Amino acid sequence: MPKEPPAVRSPPLWDPVRDRRAGRLSELDPPAAPPPAAPAARLSAWAVGKAALWSVGNAATSQGLSLLAFLITARIISPAAFGLVAIATLIVEVSKRLVVEPLAIRLMSLPDPSEDEYNEFFSSIVLLSGLGSAAIFLLAYPIAWILREPPLAPVVELIAVVLFGTGLWRSHEIWYSKRFEYHALAVRSSIASAFGGATGIGMALAGFGVWSLVAQQLVSTAVTVVLLVFLSPWRPRLRFHLGHTRRHLGSARHLALINVLNFVGYEADVFFITYYLGSTAAGIYSAAKRLMLAANLIIVSSTGSVILALFSRGSENPAAYQRLLNSLLVVGLVFFPVFVGLSLLGTDVIALLLNKKWLASGAILSILALSTLGQGMASLVTNYLIAARADRQFTAVVLGGAVATVCVLPLLAHVSARGVAFGVAAITWSSLVALCIAAAAREGRSVLAMLKALALPAAGAGAMTAAYLLLPFHAAPLLRLLLLPPLLLAVFAVTVTLLGYPEMKRLVSIARRRGRDAPDG
């Protein structure tokens, strides 16, 4: 019987040097993974990390440019004008949460959308955003009548265009995101913010008042459309099909519900203040909220992401629930001194950044800083519940917060904007406790462990507050902001070190181990 020719092996099935390095000890073991796979994995990890940095940088840069424009225009334009634009933006935002974001999230969740799917979602989003803009335009005067703010109507009519512009570029933003091209998004977003801010500042200096704020949003939206849509290599086709739109809306209706509930929980305060206290009070309140939005995005999003990556990476980590407890403690040690410090020095911050007509925002900023702290801590527990597919518990907490907001804030709005801020803070921290209870119940454990994780940073924050009250320091805002923060941070650091030295030592050990185990590149 003739022998069969030897099989061609390239590379050979058994290479002792190569395979023993890969952990394959004999020919009977499964073949080692091909060498090209490792560089691809490292490249993927690098691409994801680079995209995350660009994403955080994009948010920080855009927010910084918008904040700079706000600080300049706020010295020129009245709080009432800011209040009118705030409520008009609120109306557009709730419409965006209803008709744009559910479809956008649905498209983003698709693992590898086809060209037809991109075209379908693009067409549906454009159609719904156009209809939403038209509806807002037609309802502008009825809305102004309901809120008893006649000057609001023409502002709403123009701001309505922003919704349609968002519908035009939202699919392109997802197209870039799916390809990890966050650098392109960052550059375009920064350019749009710069053009919009420059327009607003120039028109404010020229005496256009509220219209400078409207023009700022319109120009920013228009520049975004030009950069993301008309200069994009992707050219979608409009394919309006009522059946497709209805199908997409049906699949995303639960996302629309969650979006609206979240929006009610976090944004209804401005609506109630406008209705009961007027546009001037809404402007004062919105200024404090605007500053806390920037702090939340820059501090919570960027710092929190780095800390979470450090304490939750790797398959050798403890159980997910223990990682959550570690993250609560570590993030609390960062967020508590920052936001409690902002709360104690809120009036000084407003006095330094703005002028005397905005001083009433200082007390509101002090309260909203505590609310933002609660939101930052709650985001950790929320991410845990979502990853654990505990959607029902998470939705129940969000629904409870929205119901409490609608029931409580109108009562407090009769009193003052400060009362509304207190209500928002109370609801936020109540929601945090409810989320902690839900997370602990899912694991069959007591909520005391989660509260204990928050106890150490809370004790440090309490020591900061006591030091601030016992050591009154009367000086100019700039001098107070230069001298008091280092002193308060020192009090916090000494307190948490004395009270929680074993925990601090354990966390430092975990951080060092994660650093040593981090993959190269």
pLDDT exceeds 90 at position 11: no
Dump the DSSP string for 417-476: HHHHHHHHHHHHHHHHHHHHHHHHHHTT--THHHHHHHHHHHHHHHHHHHHHHHS-----
Give the range among 22-31, 67-76, 332-341, 485-494 with minimum mean pLDDT.
22-31
For the chain, percent of residues with pLDDT exceeding 70: 77
Contact status, residue 161 vs residue 286, Cβ threshold 8 Å: no
Instruction: Write down the pLDDT at residue 142.
Output: 94
Instruction: Write down the pLDDT at residue 421.
Output: 94
> pTM of the full predicted structure?
0.77
pLDDT exceeds 80 at position 193: yes
Residue 78's closest CA among 488, 375, 354? 354
Contacts of 489 (CB under 8 A, 6+ apart): 337, 341, 464
pLDDT exceeds 70 at position 116: yes
Of 289 and 239, the structure prediction assigns the larger pLDDT to 289
- Give the Cα-Cα-Cα angle 332, 337, 341 (nearest 5 degrees): 145
Cβ of 130: how many Cβ atoms within 10 Å?
A: 15
Place of tokens 């403690």: 329
pLDDT exceeds 60 at position 416: yes
As a whole number, the mean pLDDT across the chain is 79
Instruction: Write down the pLDDT at residue 17.
Output: 39
As a whole number, mean pLDDT of residues 58-87 equals 86
Instruction: Write down the pLDDT at residue 465.
Output: 95
Six token digits for residue 327: 């993250």
Six token digits for residue 330: 């570590």
CA–CA separation, 270 and 279 (whole Å): 9
Residue 34's closest CA among 13, 7, 8, 6? 13
Instruction: Write down the pLDDT at residue 508.
Output: 67
CA–CA separation, 428 and 434 (whole Å): 10
CA–CA separation, 433 and 238 (whole Å): 47
As a whole number, mean pLDDT of residues 485-492 equals 94
Of 313 and 220, the structure prediction assigns the larger pLDDT to 220
For 374-402, the pLDDT digits (tens) are: 988 888 888 777 767 776 777 788 888 88
Give the range among 165-174, 198-207, 498-507 with minimum mean pLDDT.
498-507
Instruction: Write down the pLDDT at residue 510.
Output: 62
pLDDT exceeds 70 at position 15: no
Contact status, residue 161 vs residue 218, Cβ threshold 8 Å: yes
| Range with top average pLDDT, 234-238, 390-394, 465-469 | 465-469
Of 178 and 87, the structure prediction assigns the larger pLDDT to 87
As a whole number, mean pLDDT of residues 171-199 equals 83
Q: How far is CA 92 from the centre of its chain?
A: 18
Of 381 and 143, the structure prediction assigns the larger pLDDT to 143
pLDDT exceeds 50 at position 496: yes
Contact status, residue 132 vs residue 163, Cβ threshold 8 Å: yes
